Structure 1
Amino acid sequence: MVGFKPADVPPTNCIKVVGAGTAACVADLVTFPLDTTKVRLQIQGESKSVNSVTSPKYKGVFGTMVTIVKTEGAKSLYNGLVAGLQRQMSFASVRIGLYDSVKQFYTNGSDTITIGSRLLAGCTTGGMAVIMAQPTDVVKVRFQAQLNLTGVNKRYSGTIDAYRKIAKEEGLSGLWKGTLPNIVRNSVVNCSELVTYDLIKDALIKYNLMTGLCRPSCAWGRGMW
């Protein structure tokens, strides 16, 4: 590290992984009600009633959020938050935090990084992240879909209970339901997001477009961040 200023020292893989997971958790805390709203809208119409209690009707994003709050309480917007945070720590930390290292692996440490290598890295970390985090995603969605209405028996009493019941009733494979389409989806998303970010970041650094604006972050940008 001789000759490097503190701001010029590239972040370690550990810092990248923890930083990516933590940032994703913060984002999840802010956007979780919208995610719950999305799930409710997606499953609407799957069944006309639950335990003989008519399910509420949802109309639009804002309307769905208002209906959930009125019928189930504001807390229901955060159903499955624990599993959601578990998902982000295991998903984003791999998908984003390991991207730069995997990219270097595909280029054998070369200074010349092709778009092909970036795409391969995006697909690899996207697929790895899904395989690792799929159980947490399944539990999160099950909680978000669960109604908190009077007269409706809750299937899962807690996050650990959900993992246990799914594994017991559906087998361990039940925790990995939807893995293949999720791998395909997230590989495409990862390539689109991270490769685009990577190319823009390299252009900013190459042509000194951000010089003087945020000098300390330039060294951070030499890595994934």
Structure 2
Amino acid sequence: MVGLSTSDVHPTMGVNIFSAGVSACLADVITFPLDTAKVRLQIQGECQTSSAIRYKGVLGTISTLAKTEGLAKLYSGLPAGLQRQISSASLRIGLYDTVQEYFTDGKETPASLGSKILAGLTTGGVAVFIGQPTEVVKVRLQAQSHLHGLKPRYTGTYNAYRIIATTESFTTLWKGTSPNLLRNVIINCSELVTYDLMKETFVKNNILADDMLCHLVSALIAGFCATVLSSPADVVKTRFINSPQGYYSSVPNCAMTMLTKEGVPAFFKGFVPSFLRLASWNVIMFVCFEQLKRELMKSRRTVDGAT
């Protein structure tokens, strides 16, 4: 996938995982306000009496949040977001090449589209089960508001983990796993496979060199494809995770309630911030990922040469 050029040494699994984790955390810090805006737009309409404020558009939502709840609110849930990237993104992206090689039986021939998709499905699924508690806490912290007499459910990240586990149940930390699993495997496949294919196409056809511009354009296209395909599952996941206990009887009930009360457009709420966030996240992550891998492998070759 996001490998080095043929003249470079293929990065090790450890280098891939470390590079993916660091790059994903950097991307999350920069794009987190867009993610918060996306969550607020996605839950809008869920409970009409919860707030008199109506959010309009990406910039409008960010501006309204900053004015009414303070700039810090845009980064509410960031610690859980970073924990998610370390526990989830580092694996789903960092293990992609290794799993892809497994499905090709270690052959030197280029991986088939089927192998790429299987690798994306596998690493995306594993990442969800490991990182789901961080997703639940992140979404709930982003969604809660102190306006209109509403008392925030949680005072911070670790307080949220504790309260959810003790007042609801420990398994609630994995609430919404099924829609998040669907969302994550869709994103992982569309994001990684599209990036992989676009980069490969650009380089093989001499449209772009295997450099930063190629990585940037490939990441933008991957971000758009991932947003379009994952939006319905993402909205259902956010609604279900944020809902009070018993509000929805199941994930299908959540989806049907949205459909009957708000119609099909409800499944694409927050699409613009989703795209802006995912596209910018992809660009930052993949560009940093590629560069960090190369620098780490250069350093390793230098050390090996010196010894």
TM-score range, shorter chain: 0.7 to 0.9
Structure in which a larger fraction of residues adopt helix? 2
Unaligned 5+ segments in structure 1 are: 1-6
1:61/1:200 CA distance change after superposition, 3 Å: closer
Deviation at 1:196, TM superposition (A): 2.1
Deviation at 1:55, TM superposition (A): 4.2
Q: Indicate the residue corresponding to 1:182 in structure 2.
A: 180
1:62 to 59, 77, 88: 59
| Contact map agreement 1:76 1:148 (CA 8 A) in 2 | no
- Give the residue type in structure 2 aligned to 1:189: I
Q: Indicate the residue corresponding to 1:47 in structure 2.
A: 47
SS at match of 1:8: coil
- Using structure 2 for the length normalisation, give the TM-score: 0.62
Q: Indicate the residue corresponding to 1:108 in structure 2.
A: 105
- Using structure 1 for the length normalisation, give the TM-score: 0.83
Structure 1 distance, partners of 2:198, 2:94, is 18
1:213/1:129 CA distance change after superposition, 3 Å: closer
1:200/1:111 CA distance change after superposition, 3 Å: farther
Structure 1 distance, partners of 2:141, 2:123, is 26
- Identity between Structure 1 and Structure 2 (%): 55
- Give the residue type in structure 1 aligned to 2:42: Q
Does 172-181 or 145-154 show the bigger shift? 145-154
| Contact map agreement 2:87 2:130 (CA 8 A) in 1 | yes
CA-atom RMSD, angstroms?
A: 2.5
Q: Does 1:193 align with 2:201?
A: no
SS at match of 1:16: helix
Structure 2 distance, partners of 1:107, 1:159, is 41
Q: Indicate the residue corresponding to 1:88 in structure 2.
A: 85
Structure 2 distance, partners of 1:204, 1:179, is 36
| Contact map agreement 2:125 2:184 (CA 8 A) in 1 | yes
Q: Indicate the residue corresponding to 2:37 in structure 1.
A: 37
Unaligned 5+ segments in structure 2 are: 1-6, 213-289, 298-307
| Contact map agreement 1:131 1:179 (CA 8 A) in 2 | yes
Q: Indicate the residue corresponding to 1:140 in structure 2.
A: 138
Q: Indicate the residue corresponding to 2:23 in structure 1.
A: 23
Structure 2 distance, partners of 1:201, 1:45, is 40
Deviation at 1:83, TM superposition (A): 0.4
- Give the residue type in structure 2 aligned to 1:72: E
1:149-185 CA distances to partner (integer Å, 9 max, x unpaired)? Answer: 3743221111111111111122122111111121122
